[in-house]
Amino acid sequence: MGKSLRRIGLSLGMLLLGSLKLFAAEAPNILWITSEDNGVSWVSCYGGVNCKTPAIDQLAREGFRYTHCFDNAAVCAPTRSTWITGLYAISMGTQPMRSRNAIPHDRIQYYPDLLREAGYHVGNSGKTDYNIGSRPDKECWEGGGKWKLRKPSQPFFYVQNIGASHESNAFPRKTSVRTDPAKMVLHAYHPDLPEVRQTYARYADAVERMDGKVQEIIDQLKEDGLYEDTIIVYNSDHAGVMPRSKRFLYSSGIHCPLIVRIPEKWKRWWPAAEPGMTVDRIVSFVDMPKTWLSLAGAEVPTTYQGTVFLGDHVEQAQAYHLSFRERADEAFDMVRGMRNKRFAYIKNYMPWAPNGQRLRYMWTMTGMQAWERHYLEGKTNAITGRFFRSRVSEEFYDTHEDFDNVNNLIDDPQYQAKIDELRMAMRDKQLKLYDSGLLPEGMRLKRAKENNLTIYEMVRNPKLYPLEKYLDFADLALSREAKNLPLFTKVVDDADEGMRYWAICGLFLLGDDAAAAVPAMERALEDDAEEVKLMAAWALHRLGFERKAQACFDAHARVKGRDKRLLQCVGRWMNPAGPERG
């Protein structure tokens, strides 16, 4: 009996060893190269003309170039929050930049943890920045060191982030630029100024340095004999980086390069007939973690919100791509975008805030400073000056004809059916994702804390977060129709502070047409919610009640321990830079 058991044990052990060897032979290594802040306009194989990217171009010749890859967040930390969890940041409450809000980690799994369970060594070169609290960012990784730290024959998944193209590399420096500023091709919304050209040229240098880093990584993979055993993915972490690209939902902010090289041994996974071809499938960044798990044969959580775009389990492509913008550092905003391969619809939930509200980091660029001076001097035109003024509620662009998104077609009769289609697609997606942004940031944090919940949990409770109701009322506010005045006036006294907020926003956007609601606005000056109170004060200020408004602002500023960022933003919105020209 004992010998039989030993024979069975030996057989099982050999079977297990054989299985592990087979897994090692069949499981692909995956190298994910990410570069910071550069969109398709800065990659030459995508038609970029301001710099040359030979390493990325060669990868495209050996692999597959995706023509419709889009970031969801247009800025780094919320993007990486979406990447690590496989969920849209707005579905968890992790979309405000530098917020570190908690999520329920027992219900939301990081994809590297699942890769490790599937037998992979998972490494990261150091860039995490997941914008998520209640767990250290690096805990899910096994360190850097590329693939060197793995066990013999163990497949690896390695993230190599390249910071050489980060926005900070467009900041002024004492060193000279290699690229000729005179040869720079500018976006239509930028004035042709020497400082703007200089900033473009400096960034072009940075992108070329980034491309050199890509080559170094590929050379190391070849030197280690792993090139034909590794799927290589290259993409940027969002687009950019000139002002009005990074952080914004226009094409120059979210349209990103994505190139995938798949060795011959996994030819069945090629997304097109031959290497060097393009793929026009829409890929959203939220699709990536789900796809990496599927390629590796790992468990894919049912919570993941993307679609698999490569491998044996490819899912139907998304018809639309959703993007979002909220607070970026000290600049508050709330924007949602929905687009297909050609058309882009954008809804500005805070249209009183100009795109060009001052943001210290972006203003470090000399090109940004020169652009603002140009505007202050009254020298901008209808396109180059729009950045500094308040916005319309909705925008719609034909991105094929107008990549720079400067010709707003929202009122064009021939596009109304397409606009309605994208409006409805956006609303459906917001409901499906439990979009947490329909309450201002401070209000949603307060409500979650009062109920001892994460934002993720709070927004999934319809009693605490009646999203449909908020969406409907926000649309009424953004419509700026005087017929809604009686309704707004009534809802200023609603028991739900979220409804009160949208009611006061509706009154504010009516401008002089809201004069009859002054008593309601005065009551709102005593509201418990600071967002309601400050918007009411601003609305009264615009109607000529400056003293009452200023008294409210002063009282708000005197409260010790209060976060003053929103008050400071209101101050900037009330006093936008420059004349109303162009």
Write the DSSP string, 436-502.
Answer: GGGS-HHHHHHHHHHTT--HHHHTT-TTT--HHHHHHHHHHHHHT-GGGHHHHHHHTT-S-HHHHHH
pLDDT of residue 19: 40
CA distance 312 to 28: 13
Alpha-carbon gap, residue 101 to 86, rounded angstroms: 16
The rounded distance, in Å, linking the Cα atoms of 8 and 181 is 74
> In this structure, are residues 99 and 131 in contact, taking their beta carbons and an 8 Å threshold?
yes
Q: Which residues pair with 259 in a beta bridge?
A: 65, 234
| Other beta carbons less than 10 A from residue 330's beta carbon | 17
How many other CB atoms are found less than 10 A from the CB of residue 356? 23
User: Tell me, what's the pLDDT at 145?
Assistant: 81
| Residue 183 · residue 192 · CB < 8 Å | no
How far is Cα 370 from Cα 387, in angstroms, rounded to an integer? 13
Question: Would you tell me how many other CB atoms lie within 10 Å of the CB of residue 151?
Answer: 10
Cα–Cα dist 136/308, whole Å:
27
Residues 6+ apart with CB under 8 A from 259: 45, 56, 59, 60, 63, 64, 65, 66, 233, 234, 235
**Residue 577: per-residue pLDDT:** 59
- Coil vs helix vs strand at 582: coil
CATH 1.25.10.10 in the chain: give the residue spans.
441-468+479-574
Q: Which fold has domain 441-468+479-574?
A: Leucine-rich Repeat Variant (1.25.10)
From first to last of its 582 residues, the chain has per-residue pLDDT tens of 444 444 444 444 444 443 443 344 489 999 999 999 999 999 999 999 999 999 999 999 999 999 999 999 999 999 999 999 999 999 999 999 999 999 999 999 999 999 999 999 999 988 999 999 999 999 999 988 889 999 999 999 999 999 999 999 999 999 999 999 999 999 999 999 999 999 999 999 999 999 999 999 999 999 999 999 999 999 999 999 999 999 999 999 999 999 999 999 999 999 999 999 999 999 999 999 999 999 999 999 999 999 999 999 999 999 999 999 999 999 999 999 999 999 999 999 999 999 999 999 999 999 999 999 999 999 999 999 999 999 999 999 999 999 999 999 999 999 999 999 999 999 999 999 999 999 999 999 999 999 999 999 999 999 999 999 999 999 999 999 999 999 999 999 999 999 999 999 999 999 999 999 999 999 999 999 999 999 999 999 999 999 999 999 999 999 888 888 899 999 889 887 544 332
287 three-class SS: helix
**According to CATH, where is 3.40.720.10 located in the chain?**
30-312
Rounded CA-CA distance 236/340 in Å is: 20
Burial of 331 (0-12, 13-18, 19+ CB in 10 A): buried
Q: How far apart are CA 133 and CA 445, in angstroms?
A: 13
Burial classification of residue 17, based on how many CB atoms lie within 10 Å of its CB (0-12 exposed, 13-18 middle, 19 or more buried): exposed
Give pLDDT, residue 535. Answer: 97
> What fold characterizes domain 30-312?
Alkaline Phosphatase, subunit A (3.40.720)
What integer pLDDT is reported at residue 281 of this predicted model? 98
**In the block, residue with structure tokens 């000290």:** 330
**What pTM, to 2 d.p., does this model score?**
0.94
Cis preceding linkage at 241, omega within 30? yes
